C-alpha cells in the first residue's frame, strides 16, 4: 500500500458532536482528497487539496470542512455530526501520473 | 446524477469466463481510470486511459475509450475467483485534473 493512513479507523459518535478525521501521507504528494462511500452512490468527493492551505469543495461538501497545514496531513471535520453523515470515509493521494492511492477508510456511525 | 455510471450494476460469471463492464460519462474528460475495491478495503488503481487513447492493455485487463460516445469498457479475460470485487470507473475532469468523479460501481462475482 502507498504510504497513506487514516485515523481513527472506526468511530461512533452522537448527533451534534464535532468529529475530526485525519489522513496522513508519507509520499509528499501535492493532491489529497476526501471521499465518502455509501451504498448505491459509489465514492463522492467531499473536499480536495492541491497544496498546503489550498483546498476546494467537492460535490458533497455541505456540513464538512477541511484543513491542510502540512503537506502530509489533511483533516476532515464534521462540525456538528448528523445521522446522514454515517458513512465510510476514504482519503486519497494523487501522484504525478494521475493515479490515486486510497487509505484503508474510516467507518463513522452517527447515532 | 453521477458523472460516471457503470453497467451492469452486478455481474456473476464462472471462473475462466470473460467479464465486461461498461462506463458512461457526461462531460469532457482529461482521462478515465478503472479501480477495484475488495470488500471492506480502499480502492486500488487498475489502469488509466487518456482522452486521446482508444485502447490500453494491462495483463488480463483491456480498456477501451470512445470519447464520441462518452463511454469506456473494462474487459477482464480468463477471470479468477480472486477477481471478485467491485469495479469503479473514474473520470478526471478538465485539463487541471483536480477532480476525479467515481461511478457507483459494478459488483463482479466470479464463481469457482
| pLDDT digit string, tens, across residues B62-72 | 999 999 999 99
Q: How many Å apart are CA A91 and CA A68, to the nearest integer?
A: 13
Strand partners, A103: none
- What pLDDT, on a 0 to 100 scale, did the predictor assign at position A97? 78
How many CB atoms neighbour CB A32 within 10 A? 28
Taking only residues 44 to 83 of chain A, the set having a beta carbon closer than 8 angstroms to any beta carbon of chain B reads 44-45, 48, 50, 56, 58-59
What does residue A83 show for φ and ψ, rounded to 5 degrees?
A: -65, -30
Q: Which pLDDT band holds residue B1 (cuts at 50, 70, 90)?
A: very low
Mark yes or no for CB contact B31/A98 under 8 Å: yes
Mean pLDDT along residues A78-102? 93
Joined together, the cell numbers standing for residue A47 give 473536499
Mean pLDDT along residues A55-63? 92
Higher pLDDT, A72 or B7: A72
- What pLDDT, on a 0 to 100 scale, did the predictor assign at position B97? 55
Nearest in space to A10 (alpha carbons), one of A107, A90, A83: A107
Q: How many Å apart are CA B21 and CA A103, to the nearest integer?
A: 25
| pLDDT tens by residue, B39-48 | 888 999 999 9
Mean of the per-residue pLDDT values for chain B? Answer: 90
How many CB atoms neighbour CB A71 within 10 A? 15
Question: Closest approach of chain A CAs to the CA of B101, in angstroms?
Answer: 7
The radius of gyration of chain B from alpha carbons, rounded to an integer in Å, stands at: 13
Is the alpha carbon torsion for A64, A68, A69, A74 positive or negative? Answer: positive
Mean pLDDT along residues B43-67? 96
Mark yes or no for CB contact A99/B102 under 8 Å: no
- What pLDDT, on a 0 to 100 scale, did the predictor assign at position A22? 98
- What pLDDT, on a 0 to 100 scale, did the predictor assign at position B53? 96
> Which residue in the set A33, A43, A59 is minimally distant from B88, CB to CB?
A43
Mean pLDDT along residues B34-54? 93
A-chain CB neighbours of B43 within 8 Å are 43, 90, 92, 100, 102
Query: How many residues are there in chain A?
Result: 111
Mean of the per-residue pLDDT values for chain A? Answer: 93
Q: Which pLDDT band holds residue B94 (cuts at 50, 70, 90)?
A: low
Q: How many Å apart are CA A99 and CA B33, to the nearest integer?
A: 8
Mean pLDDT along residues A35-42? 87
Joined together, the cell numbers standing for residue B94 give 478538465
> Which residue in the set B40, B45, B104 is minimally distant from A40, CB to CB?
B104
pLDDT at A50 over 50: yes
For residues A102 and A4, the answer to whether their CB atoms sit within 8 Å is yes
Amino acid at each position: 500500500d502507498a504510504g497513506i493512513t487514516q485515523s481513527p479507523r472506526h468511530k461512533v459518535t452522537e448527533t451534534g458532536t464535532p468529529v475530526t478525521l485525519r489522513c496522513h501521507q508519507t509520499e509528499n504528494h501535492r493532491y489529497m482528497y476526501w471521499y465518502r462511500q455509501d451504498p448505491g452512490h459509489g465514492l463522492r468527493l467531499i473536499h480536495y487539496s492541491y497544496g498546503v492551505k489550498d483546498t476546494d469543495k467537492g460535490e458533497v461538501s455541505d456540513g464538512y470542512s477541511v484543513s491542510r497545514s502540512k503537506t502530509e496531513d489533511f483533516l476532515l471535520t464534521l462540525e456538528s455530526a448528523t445521522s446522514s453523515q454515517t458513512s465510510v470515509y476514504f482519503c486519497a493521494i494523487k501522484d504525478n501520473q494521475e493515479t490515486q492511492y486510497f487509505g484503508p477508510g474510516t467507518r463513522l456511525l452517527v447515532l | 446524477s453521477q458523472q460516471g455510471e457503470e453497467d451492469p450494476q452486478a455481474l456473476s460469471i464462472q471462473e475462466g469466463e470473460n467479464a465486461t463492464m461498461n462506463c458512461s460519462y457526461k462531460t469532457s474528460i482529461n482521462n478515465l481510470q478503472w479501480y477495484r475495491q475488495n470488500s471492506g478495503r480502499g480502492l486500488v488503481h487498475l489502469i488509466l486511459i487518456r482522452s486521446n487513447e482508444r485502447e490500453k492493455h494491462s495483463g488480463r485487463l483491456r480498456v477501451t475509450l470512445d470519447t464520441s460516445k462518452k463511454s469506456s469498457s473494462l474487459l477482464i479475460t480468463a477471470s479468477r475467483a480472486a477477481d471478485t470485487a467491485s469495479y469503479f470507473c473514474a473520470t478526471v475532469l478538465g485539463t487541471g485534473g483536480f477532480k476525479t468523479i467515481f461511478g457507483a460501481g459494478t459488483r463482479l462475482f466470479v464463481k469457482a
